[in-house]
């Protein structure tokens, strides 16, 4: 079963408008973390925002905010005032414990965001 689901393969937004990228997750752990990364065509994974499962307030980082709804197991990324440079792939990921006691990131399939001028 998928642990991170991103249901939007592609999204379009007009420059200067806000956009929401959806992410739902599945875990039975009480302690976990959720990340959003941006991956431009160059390939690097750029950290955007992090939300811990015990954080009571939604995380914000500049134009990025995370709409965390724990009961619904959703962690949507909101980008305000979109810019042309925001066009990229966006990945939601969850930090989870491995059987060996370490941890790893589990990623969704991503959403391709295109910002139109």
Partner 1 sequence: DTGVSQDPRHKITKRGQNVTFRCDPISEHNRLYWYRQTLGQGPEFLTYFQNEAQLEKSRLLSDRFSAERPKGSFSTLEIQRTEQGDSAMYLCASSDGTGGRGYGYTFGSGTRLTVV
Q: Which residues bind partner 1 (CB under 8 A)?
A: 4, 33, 35, 37, 42-47, 50, 91, 93, 95, 98, 100-102, 104-110
Distance set, CA 56 to CA 44, 51, 59, 66, 86 (Å): 30, 9, 9, 12, 28
φ/ψ of 86, rounded to 5, equals -80, -10
Q: Write down the least CB distance from residue 104 to partner 1, Å.
A: 4
Closer CB to partner 1, 85 or 100, in the complex:
100
CA-based R_g, the chain, Å: 14
- Nearest CB to partner 1, comparing residues 14 and 93: 93
Nearest CB to partner 1, comparing residues 58 and 117? 58
The distance from CA 23 to its chain's CA centroid, rounded to whole angstroms, is 6
Q: How far is the CB of 115 from partner 1 (least distance, A)?
A: 21
For residue 16, the minimal CB distance to partner 1 (Å) is: 27
Kindly tell me the burial class for residue 74, based on how many C-beta atoms sit within 10 Å of its own C-beta (0-12, 13-18, 19 or more): middle
For partner 1, give the closer residue by CB, 17 or 40: 40
């Amino acid at each position: 079963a998928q642990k991170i689901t991103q249901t939007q393969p592609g999204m379009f937004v007009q420059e200067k408008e806000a956009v929401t990228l959806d992410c739902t997750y599945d875990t039975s752990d009480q302690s976990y973390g959720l990340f959003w990364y941006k991956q431009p065509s160059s390939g690097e994974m750029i950290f955007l925002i992090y939300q811990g499962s015990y954080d009571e307030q939604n995380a914000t980082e500049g134009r990025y905010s995370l709409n965390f709804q724990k009961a619904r197991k959703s962690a949507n990324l909101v980008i305000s005032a979109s810019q042309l440079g925001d066009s990229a792939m966006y990945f939601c990921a969850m930090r989870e414990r491995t059987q060996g006691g370490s941890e790893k990131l589990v990623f969704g399939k991503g959403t391709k965001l295109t910002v139109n001028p």
